């Protein structure tokens, strides 16, 4: 993913495209996160069972963060099938964040964020 991120950022910069909304997993932690016990356990399992994926995701995020683009990286917990409800939380990993989200609600947030830019140059977690 890091190579892809480099290519995407380079192409956007070359062609003057400024807005990028990308996604990654909730396991890519940020300084603003305050994980509860369940989040720490899930993080430990990810580091044990999917370390390469987690490291690649973090590298992808660093490429985007170091760009000059108007970026937002949306972090998702476990994605599930379901309808769009529009009723989800946006913030950081905390006691109030959930461990799942429907794909439809994830897409709903991305489309809104593309236009609204409320989370510009930030990595919000979207969950139930």
Six-digit token pair at 22? 């990308």
Query: What pLDDT sits at residue 2?
Result: 86
pLDDT of 61 higher than 80: yes
**Neighbouring residues of 54: CB distance < 8 A, sequence distance ≥ 6:** 25, 27, 28, 46, 47
Tokens matching residue 61: 């995020």
Instruction: Give me the chain's average pLDDT, please.
Output: 96
Q: In this structure, which CATH number among 3.40.190.10, 3.90.550.10, 3.40.50.720, 3.30.830.10 belongs to the domain 2-7+15-127? A: 3.40.50.720
Q: How confident is the model at residue 62 (pLDDT cuts 50, 70, 90)?
A: very high
How far apart, in whole angstroms, are the C-alpha atoms of residue 70 and residue 64?
9
> CA 58 to CA 52: how far, in whole Å?
10
Res. 1: pLDDT tops 90:
no
């Amino acid at each position: 993913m890091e190579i892809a991120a480099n290519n995407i950022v380079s192409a956007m910069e070359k062609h003057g495209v400024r807005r990028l909304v990308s996604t990654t997993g909730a396991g890519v932690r940020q300084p603003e996160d305050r994980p509860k016990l369940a989040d720490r356990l899930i993080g430990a399992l990810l580091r044990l069972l999917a370390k390469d994926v987690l490291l690649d995701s973090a590298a992808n995020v660093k490429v985007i963060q170091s760009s000059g683009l108007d970026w937002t990286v949306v972090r998702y917990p476990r994605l599930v099938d379901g309808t769009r409800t529009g009723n989800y939380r946006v913030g950081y990993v905390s006691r109030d964040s959930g461990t799942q989200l429907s794909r439809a609600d994830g897409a709903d947030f991305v489309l809104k964020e593309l236009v609204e830019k409320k989370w510009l140059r930030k990595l919000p977690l979207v969950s139930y």
